């Protein structure tokens, strides 16, 4: 009993050990992948710090733009306070220039020069941003054209195979339609292995009879080779033409042994008209 009880425990320990080894291998693999990912991220971080990338340029441009906007906000707030002081006289600031001292005028002129410089810098920043956006747009447009070229190439390579499949399906469908609409009246008996028949009835060409379009307008039977040699499109057109008959559908299916409809089936005598 002791030995029988120890064996299952030993097998269970072996299974647990195998599972632990598998878990260890999985963890080692995940650690290796994480180390590779960290190394790639560090390389990308170093490359971003070394080179002047696009995002860094945009960030610096946005900071400078925010500073200029803050200056403009301060100037506009000062002008708004001046307007609130004398709302009735809108030209008070202009008339005050005559009463101002030369030093004050020079200081005001210097302030206007600074505003002009700030506006010029803002214009240059806008031009730089416009140029960067244009480059980014052209780059994205080139990538889009490359993708479209690849897509068109792949679609062009797939179209012939799809067309061949569609043609094969269409030919199979037409073949099934041809076989379903016609029935051979006589099977050929003359083959390469059997002697040629001497009976005139057996030497006759195998004929077929349309089981849907037997009418007085198409009483003459045609040999099978005539219809089987037709192209699918011509065959379907002939089928559609022969479907436009005046005999009801329940009367078109006749006994193949009796042949087509006789002439007596049609109406020869019409009632006279009363004038």
State yes or no: pLDDT of 90 exceeds 60: no
Residue 50 inside a domain? The answer is: no
User: What pTM was computed for the model?
Assistant: 0.28
Between residues 50 and 125, the one the model is more confident about: 125
Q: Which pLDDT value is given to residue 266?
A: 52
> How much of the chain, in percent, has pLDDT values that exceed 70?
54
Q: Is 221 left (phi over 0), alpha (psi -120 to 50) or beta?
A: beta
- Yes or no: say if 206 and 184 are a contact pair by the CB < 8 Å rule: yes
* Residue 156 predicted with pLDDT over 60: yes
Return the axis-axis angle of helices 232-242 and 102-181, rounded to nearest 10°: 70
Start-to-end CA span in the chain (Å): 124
> If 0-12 CB within 10 Å is exposed, 13-18 middle and 19+ buried, where does residue 215 land?
buried
pLDDT for the residue 32: 92
Average pLDDT of 148-160?
A: 79
Would 116 be classed as within a structural domain? Answer: yes
Supply the pLDDT for residue 205. Answer: 45
- Is residue 10 included in any domain, yes or no? no
Using CA atoms, how far residue 98 sits from 56, 78, 107, in Å, is: 49, 21, 15
Give bridge partners of residue 139 from the DSSP assignment: none
Contact 209, 260 (CB under 8 A): yes
Specify if 115 maps to a domain.
yes
The DSSP secondary-structure symbol of 264 reads G
Does residue 199 form part of some domain?
no
Q: Which residues span the domain enclosing 111?
A: 57-81+102-160
121 domain residue, yes or no: yes
Other C-beta atoms closer than 10 Å to the C-beta of 48 total 12
Residue 56's pLDDT band, with cuts at 50, 70 and 90, is confident
As a whole number, mean pLDDT of residues 74-93 equals 71
Render pLDDT for 247-275 as a digit per residue (tens, 0 to 9). Answer: 555 455 555 566 555 555 555 566 677 66
Mean per-residue pLDDT, 39-64: 77
- Higher pLDDT among residues 214 and 100, named by residue: 100
Using the predicted structure, report yes or no on whether residue 77 has a pLDDT greater than 70: yes
Q: Does residue 135 sit within a domain?
A: yes
Indicate if the pLDDT at residue 125 is higher than 80.
yes
Q: Kindly state the helix (H) or strand (E) to which residue 209 belongs, with its residue range.
A: strand 208-210
CB 245 within 8 A of CB 252: yes
Question: Across all residues in the chain, what is the average pLDDT?
Answer: 70
Angle at the Cα of 232 from the Cα atoms of 228 and 233, rounded to 5 degrees: 135
Q: How many structural domains comprise the chain?
A: 1
Report the pLDDT value the prediction gives residue 217, as an integer from 0 to 100.
41
Check if the beta carbon of residue 148 is closer than 8 Å to that of residue 188: no
Average pLDDT over residues 47-65: 75
Query: Is residue 217 domain-resident?
Result: no
| pLDDT-above-90 percentage for the chain | 5
Q: Out of 11-15, 136-140, 224-228, which region has the weakest mean confidence (pLDDT)?
A: 224-228
User: Within its chain, how far is the Cα of 191 from the centroid?
Assistant: 55
């Amino acid at each position: 009993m002791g030995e029988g009880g120890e064996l299952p425990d030993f097998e269970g320990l072996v299974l647990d050990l195998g599972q632990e080894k598998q878990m260890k291998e999985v963890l080692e693999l995940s650690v290796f992948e994480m180390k590779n990912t960290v190394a790639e991220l560090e390389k990308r971080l170093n490359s971003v710090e070394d080179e002047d990338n696009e995002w860094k340029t945009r960030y610096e441009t946005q900071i400078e733009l925010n500073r200029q906007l803050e200056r403009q906000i301060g100037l506009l707030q000062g002008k708004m306070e001046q307007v609130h002081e004398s709302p009735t006289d809108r030209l008070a600031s202009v008339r005050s220039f005559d009463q101002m001292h030369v030093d004050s005028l020079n200081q005001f002129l210097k302030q206007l020069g600074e505003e002009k410089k700030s506006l010029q810098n803002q214009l240059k920043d806008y031009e730089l941003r416009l140029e960067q956006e244009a480059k980014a747009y052209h780059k994205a447009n080139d990538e889009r054209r490359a993708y479209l070229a690849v897509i068109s190439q792949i679609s062009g390579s797939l179209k012939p195979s799809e067309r061949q499949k569609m043609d094969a399906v269409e030919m199979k469908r037409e073949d099934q339609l041809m076989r379903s609409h016609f029935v051979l009246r006589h099977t050929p008996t003359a083959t390469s292995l059997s002697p040629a028949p001497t009976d005139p009835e057996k030497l006759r060409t195998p004929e077929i009879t349309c089981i849907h379009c037997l009418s007085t307008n198409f009483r003459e039977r045609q040999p099978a080779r005539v219809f089987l040699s037709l192209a699918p499109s011509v065959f379907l057109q002939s089928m559609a033409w022969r479907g436009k008959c005046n005999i009801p559908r329940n009367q078109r299916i006749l006994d193949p042994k009796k042949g087509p409809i006789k002439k007596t089936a049609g109406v020869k005598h019409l009632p006279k008209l009363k004038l």
